[in-house]
């Protein structure tokens, strides 16, 4: 068993701090403590409850209809949730199906653990939509977990309620779980499909404060599921992080208590940015895309085809603009553009992208 670094995170670690314009990030522009106006002075810097502060868990549970705080495990970002669920459910003789492309840890964890992994591919020719017949073909008697990511990173594809129900049935038929990474769900352009965990005791929802709320630095995410899964997440995380950061939990709680007001502002900013990106895409000659249906990322490809490595490298070094080359997300030929950042930064970054595209095509 060998844990190797993920190419996506190597790229971030190397370049994201070295640029002037970031149009590759997959979340809304990050916030500072000052922006939030939260007083942190009274926070006790002790170990916390291993499943998360009960008040925070109750605040989170309010979003999940029939479920309550016992169905919530607060984790160190969605990342720890992913690790815990996969680590617990998928043993050495089990099979896991992971929708692809996605955030790489979802397939990299089973690879590192040497598990039997099948990739459920979203294809350009199918508008990056999940094909349920294909999912049915991939399932085996020993499949223990199917993971989907919707809205999808990096394609912006969105599953329908009907497809989600079908995916749950496919999992249930073999006694497997379906886990949906819903990290981008609050950034839907239209009404989102239901939260997976509210649909079946075999469905697991997972999300994070990192993207919609622009708070990746507090490292808070959560898993919502039937209580045996929640208890298992606790067992795994006790061996890795024990509990969450008390400062992170306090910030998450304060933000979620104001979620409606904050969400409105953030969605307006996201939609205004999407208009800019869409217009830019309509008026350039070198890239084509399947328009994202939601979230704050899209994955255009070069019309002339071929790798985007040279483009992204040129952009980051000469034009000080950050995007993500598709090769770092197993989607070579594409690049990830994020439109959740500041408006001006997006406009400038797209201008730099245009110049770099012109340069590589001259
Ligand atoms: C779909 C998805 N899941 C999980 C993560 C991990 O995020 P975090 O651990 O910050 O919640 C990311 C980050 O990009 C993501 O895109």
pLDDT tens digit string along 134-170? 999 999 999 999 999 999 999 999 999 999 999 999 9
Write down the mean pLDDT value for the chain: 97
Indicate whether 297 and 227 sit together in one domain. Answer: no
Sheet holding 335-338, edge to edge: 297-298, 335-338, 324-325
pLDDT tens digit string along 315-343? 999 999 999 999 999 999 999 999 999 99
CB of 183 closer than 6 angstroms to any ligand 1 atom:
yes
169: number of Cβ within 10 Å:
14
Strands 335-338 and 297-298: antiparallel
Three-class SS of residue 269?
helix
* Closest by CA position to 335, among listed 155, 104, 100, 151: 155
Three-class SS of residue 297?
strand
Torsion angle of the four alpha carbons 44, 46, 50, 53, in this order, in degrees rounded to the nearest 10: 0
Instruction: Compute the average pLDDT of residues 298-308.
Output: 97
Q: Residue 273 domain-assigned?
A: yes
Instruction: Examine the fold and report which residue of 257, 285, 305 is the final residue of a domain before the chain moves on.
Output: 257
User: End-to-end alpha-carbon separation of the chain, Å?
Assistant: 46
The single residue listed with the structure tokens 């990830």 is 336
pLDDT tens digit string along 248-264? 999 999 999 999 988 99
Cis peptide before 250, with omega less than 30 degrees from 0? no
Q: Residue 2 domain-assigned?
A: no
pLDDT at 234 over 90: yes
DSSP for residue 185: G
Cα 183 to averaged position of ligand 1 atoms, centre (Å)? 7
How far is 67 from 22, CA to CA, in rounded Å? 38
Indicate whether 16 and 69 sit together in one domain. Answer: no
Cα 169 to averaged position of ligand 1 atoms, centre (Å)? 26
Q: Residue 34 domain-assigned?
A: no
Indicate whether 206 and 230 sit together in one domain. Answer: yes
pLDDT tens digit string along 282-293? 999 999 999 999
> Which residue lies with its CA nearest to atom 2 of ligand 1?
103
Indicate whether 19 and 110 sit together in one domain. Answer: no
Helix axes 259-282, 246-257, angle to 10 degrees: 90
Indicate whether 192 and 166 sit together in one domain. Answer: yes
What's CA 146's distance to the chain center, in Å?
16
Q: How far is CA 321 from CA 100, 313, 327, in A?
A: 26, 9, 17
Instruction: Compute the average pLDDT of residues 288-304.
Output: 96
Contact 210, 79 (CB under 8 A): no
Cα 84 to averaged position of ligand 1 atoms, centre (Å)? 14
Instruction: Examine the fold and report which residue of 257, 289, 318 is the final residue of a domain before the chain moves on.
Output: 257
Q: Which residues contact 306 (CB under 8 A, 6 or more apart)?
A: 333
Number of helices (H), then strands (E), belonging to the chain: the values are: 12, 14
Indicate whether 303 and 346 sit together in one domain. Answer: yes
DSSP for residue 188: B
Indicate whether 222 and 89 sit together in one domain. Answer: yes
Cα 68 to averaged position of ligand 1 atoms, centre (Å)? 24
Cα 236 to averaged position of ligand 1 atoms, centre (Å)? 19
Residue 206 β-bridge partners: 181, 223
Question: How would DSSP label each residue in 20-50?
Answer: SEE---SSSPP--HHHHT---TT---S---T
Domain with 118, as residue range(s), is 39-257
At 1 the pLDDT is 59
Contact 308, 314 (CB under 8 A): no
Q: Which residues contact 252 (CB under 8 A, 6 or more apart)?
A: 56, 74, 209, 215, 218, 220
DSSP for residue 16: G
Cα 79 to averaged position of ligand 1 atoms, centre (Å)? 6
Indicate whether 179 and 57 sit together in one domain. Answer: yes
Ligand 1: which of 181, 211, 217, 221 to mutate, judged by most atoms within 8 Å of the beta carbon? 211
At 65 the pLDDT is 87
pLDDT at 123 over 80: yes
CB of 157 closer than 6 angstroms to any ligand 1 atom:
no
**CATH classification of the domain holding 153:** 3.40.640.10
Instruction: Examine the fold and report which residue of 211, 239, 257 is the final residue of a domain before the chain moves on.
Output: 257
Q: Residue 31 domain-assigned?
A: no
Indicate whether 51 and 91 sit together in one domain. Answer: yes
Contact 314, 352 (CB under 8 A): no
CB of 103 closer than 6 angstroms to any ligand 1 atom:
yes
Q: Residue 284 domain-assigned?
A: yes
DSSP for residue 131: -
Cα 340 to averaged position of ligand 1 atoms, centre (Å)? 14
Indicate whether 328 and 280 sit together in one domain. Answer: yes
Instruction: Compute the average pLDDT of residues 268-281.
Output: 97
Contact 259, 110 (CB under 8 A): no
Percent of the chain residues topping a pLDDT of 90: 96
CB of 212 closer than 6 angstroms to any ligand 1 atom:
no
- Count the domains in the chain: 2
pLDDT at 3 over 80: yes
> Which residue lies with its CA nearest to atom 16 of ligand 1?
103
**209 CA closest ligand 1 atom index:** 11
Token pair, residue 21, equals 């314009």
Indicate whether 114 and 62 sit together in one domain. Answer: yes
Q: Residue 356 domain-assigned?
A: yes
At 189 the pLDDT is 86
**CATH classification of the domain holding 306:** 3.90.1150.10
Cα 251 to averaged position of ligand 1 atoms, centre (Å)? 18
Percent of the chain residues topping a pLDDT of 70: 100
CB of 26 closer than 6 angstroms to any ligand 1 atom:
yes
Q: Residue 97 domain-assigned?
A: yes
Indicate whether 228 and 334 sit together in one domain. Answer: no
At 2 the pLDDT is 87
pLDDT tens digit string along 9-32? 999 999 999 999 999 999 999 999
Q: How far is CA 251 from CA 29, 75, 228, in A?
A: 16, 14, 28
Q: Residue 246 domain-assigned?
A: yes
């Amino acid at each position: 068993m060998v844990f190797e670094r993920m190419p996506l995170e190597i790229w971030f670690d190397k370049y994201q701090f070295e640029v002037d314009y970031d149009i590759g990030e997959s979340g809304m522009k990050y916030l500072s403590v000052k922006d939030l106006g939260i007083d942190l002075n009274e926070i006790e810097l002790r170990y916390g409850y291993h499943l998360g502060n009960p008040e925070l868990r109750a605040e989170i549970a309010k979003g999940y209809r029939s479920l309550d705080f016992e169905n919530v495990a607060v984790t160190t970002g969605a990342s720890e949730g992913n690790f815990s669920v996969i680590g617990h459910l998928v043993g050495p003789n089990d099979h896991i199906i992971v929708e692809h492309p996605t955030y790489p840890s979802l397939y990299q964890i089973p690879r590192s653990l040497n598990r039997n992994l099948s990739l459920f591919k979203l294809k350009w020719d199918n508008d990056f939509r999940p094909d349920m017949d294909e999912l049915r073909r991939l399932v085996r008697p020993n499949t223990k977990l199917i993971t989907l990511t919707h809205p999808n990173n990096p394609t912006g594809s969105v599953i329908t309620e009907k497809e989600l129900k079908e995916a749950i049935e496919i999992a249930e038929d073999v006694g497997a779980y379906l886990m949906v990474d819903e990290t981008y769900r609050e950034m839907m352009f239209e009404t989102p499909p239901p939260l997976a965990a509210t649909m079946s005791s075999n469905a697991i929802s997972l999300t994070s404060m990192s993207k919609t709320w622009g708070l990746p630095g507090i490292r808070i995410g959560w898993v919502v599921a039937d209580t045996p899964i929640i208890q298992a997440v606790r067992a795994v995380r006790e061996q890795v992080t024990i509990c969450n950061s008390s400062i992170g939990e306090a910030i998450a709680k304060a933000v979620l208590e104001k979620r409606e007001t904050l969400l409105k502002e953030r969605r307006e900013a996201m939609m205004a940015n999407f208009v800019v990106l869409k217009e830019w895409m309509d008026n350039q000659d070198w890239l084509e895309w399947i328009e994202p249906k939601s979230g704050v990322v899209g994955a255009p490809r070069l019309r002339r085809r071929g790798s985007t490595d040279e483009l992204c490298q040129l952009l980051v070094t000469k034009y000080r603009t950050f995007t993500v080359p598709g090769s770092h997300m197993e989607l070579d030929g594409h690049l990830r553009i994020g439109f959740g950042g500041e408006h001006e930064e997006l406009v400038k970054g797209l201008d730099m992208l245009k110049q770099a595209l012109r340069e590589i095509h001259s």
